[in-house]
């Protein structure tokens, strides 16, 4: 069960936003010895990880909570924030809200601008930059590969690493937008963060033992609305690389995902359709065995609070999804979603598959009440977790209310 609230306020150039939840979930069994052994080996963690059962969760959790100030179309904000960098609806490769929000300082251009003279051909530009601090990182390895990392199971590092990110977007035309993103993890025990190390780690310039210090990632993405079908079809895609300047100059060592979206089908205007698919297991990069979203120095990977901050596809897998909604009105819809994921056998022993089908509905009433519900059937087969094929049914119902004081 999850119960929560969100609230926001604006006064002149100042803005406040807050969101919190009470979360309850029952306990669960500990991972098997085989699962723990695989994780330790794959992520270069210390052996003999303890088999700790999942405890019952009963807590209030503050999530997004930040204050901001707008100055000449730039917003400076500080606090806990969620970011979603990319066009994919199922999960962007750079950053998503799959993990808990990050405590950060952020500078964001809230409205586009154009450069003067011939540089105006770059189109409308937007910039976004943040510096935040992660949570839940338990291990770090500042030595050569193969040594035991520093840290302890069940205990967070005394000094958590930082995550910095920058994104620039070019809207060349009304229908075509192109963006580039860069994130880097740096800091933690033995790695003091200074202006110099922040700059060097962000550009992968800071090295020791001929290895880069800092965990850098880059993404390039685009969105193109086909002019003659602008009300019917948009194409988009993302490329993602580890420790490279851009996936565009190293496509063979990068992974990709993309999709298409039709807000209304030509013969059924009230029906939309979205198709997405991608892979995090590059075909022409055989030495990469689950290397995306992982790092030999920051061995807990691209996670915050233990959760991956990126695409639902995860590591060394491919995935596809189909979603469609029938709009009864602008505020009421019913939909269906299908999802498939296949884990690479070269990474996970015997691999694995996961298939979901879901029907859902969402109704926003004039009174401010919102009713949402879903019913999902899932079937998965991952030999490392269970010897036989597993299936389950999940039902959920959400009730929310937006007071008139918060509506226009």
Q: What is the pLDDT of residue 284?
A: 75
The reported pLDDT for the residue numbered 142 is: 86
Q: What pLDDT shows up at residue 287?
A: 74
Q: State the CB neighbour count (10 A cutoff) for residue 297.
A: 23
What is the per-residue pLDDT for 209? 55
Q: Report the distance separating Cα 293 and Cα 301, nearest Å.
A: 6
List, in sequence order, every residue forming a beta bridge with 151; answer none if it has no partner.
139
At residue 106, the pLDDT reads 97
- In angstroms, the CA 352 to CA 112 distance is 44
Pair 67, 14: CB distance under 8 Å = yes
Q: Do you know the residue count of the chain?
A: 408
Q: Where are the domains of the chain?
A: 68-313
- Nearest partner of 310 among 86, 30, 106, 110, judged by Cα: 86
Q: Per-residue pLDDT tens for 166-219?
A: 999 999 999 999 999 999 999 999 888 888 888 877 776 656 555 557 888 999
The rounded distance, in Å, linking the Cα atoms of 186 and 76 is 22
Measured in degrees and rounded to the nearest 5, phi and psi for residue 288 equal -90, 105
Rounded to whole angstroms, the Cα distance separating 192 from 44 reads 23
Is 137 in contact with 152 (CB distance < 8 Å)?
no
Q: Is 202 helix (H, G, I), strand (E, B) or coil?
A: helix
Assigned token pair, 354:
């996961």
Q: Which bin fits 86, alpha (ψ -120 to 50), beta or left (φ > 0)?
A: left
Rounded to the nearest 10 degrees, how much is the dihedral formed by the CA atoms of 23, 25, 31, 35? Answer: -60
- Secondary structure element (H or E) that encloses residue 221, with its range: strand 215-225
Beta bridge partners of 212: 207
d(CA 290, CA 298): 15
How many Å apart are CA 376 and CA 360, to the nearest integer?
Answer: 9
Q: Collect the ranges in the chain with pLDDT lower than 50.
A: none
Question: What are the backbone dihedrals phi and psi of residue 253, each rounded to the nearest 5 degrees, phi first?
Answer: -110, 20
| CA 254 vs CA 29, 211, 376: distances in Å | 36, 20, 33
Whole-number Cα distances in Å, 335 to 234, 245, 370? 20, 40, 16
Quick: pLDDT tens for 370-391: 999 999 999 999 999 999 999 9
Contact (Cβ atoms closer than 8 angstroms) between residue 222 and residue 236: yes
> What confidence score (pLDDT) does residue 367 get?
85
Residue 361: predicted pLDDT: 97
Q: How far apart are CA 233 and CA 177, in angstroms?
A: 15
Give 333's strand partners. Answer: 327, 362
User: Which CATH number applies to 68-313?
Assistant: 2.40.160.130
Angle, vertex CA 310, rays to CA 307 and CA 311, nearest 5 = 115
């Amino acid at each position: 069960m999850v119960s929560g609230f969100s609230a926001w306020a604006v006064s002149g150039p100042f803005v406040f936003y807050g969101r919190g939840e009470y979360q309850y979930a029952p306990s669960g069994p500990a991972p098997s010895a085989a699962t723990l052994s695989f994780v330790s080996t794959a992520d270069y963690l210390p052996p003999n990880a303890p088999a700790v059962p999942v405890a019952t969760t009963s807590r209030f959790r503050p999530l997004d909570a930040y204050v901001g100030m707008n100055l000449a179309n730039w917003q400076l904000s500080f606090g806990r924030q969620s970011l979603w960098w990319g066009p994919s609806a199922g999960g962007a490769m750079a950053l998503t809200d799959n993990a808990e929000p990050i405590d950060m300082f952020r500078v964001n251009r809230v409205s586009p601008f154009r450069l003067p003279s011939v540089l105006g051909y770059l189109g409308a530009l937007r910039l976004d930059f943040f510096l935040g601090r992660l949570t839940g990182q338990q291990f770090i390895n500042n030595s050569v590969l193969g040594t035991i990392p520093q840290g302890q199971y069940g205990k967070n590092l005394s000094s958590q690493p930082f995550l910095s990110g920058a994104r620039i977007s070019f809207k060349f035309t009304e229908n075509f937008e192109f963006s580039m993103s860069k994130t880097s993890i740096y800091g933690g025990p033995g790695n003091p963060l200074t202006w110099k190390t922040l700059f060097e780690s962000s550009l992968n310039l800071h090295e020791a033992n001929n290895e880069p210090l800092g965990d850098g990632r880059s993404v390039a993405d685009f969105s193109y609305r086909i002019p003659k079908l602008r009300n019917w079809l948009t194409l988009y895609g993302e490329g993602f690389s580890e420790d490279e300047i851009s996936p565009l100059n190293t496509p063979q060592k990068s992974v990709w995902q993309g999709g298409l979206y039709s807000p209304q089908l030509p013969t059924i205007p009230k029906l939309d359709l979205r198709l997405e698919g991608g892979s995090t297991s590059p075909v022409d990069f055989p030495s990469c065995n689950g290397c995306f979203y992982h790092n030999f120095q920051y061995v807990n990977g691209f996670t915050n609070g233990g959760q991956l901050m990126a695409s639902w596809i995860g590591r060394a897998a491919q995935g596809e999804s189909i979603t469609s909604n029938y709009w009864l009105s602008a505020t009421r819809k019913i939909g269906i979603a299908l999802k498939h994921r296949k884990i690479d056998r070269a990474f996970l022993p015997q691999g694995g598959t996961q298939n979901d089908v879901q029907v859902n509905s969402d109704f926003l009433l004039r009174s401010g009440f919102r009713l949402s519900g879903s019913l999902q059937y899932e079937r998965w087969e991952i030999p490392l977790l269970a010897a036989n094929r597993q299936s389950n049914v999940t039902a959920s119902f959400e009730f929310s209310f937006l007071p008139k004081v918060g509506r226009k």
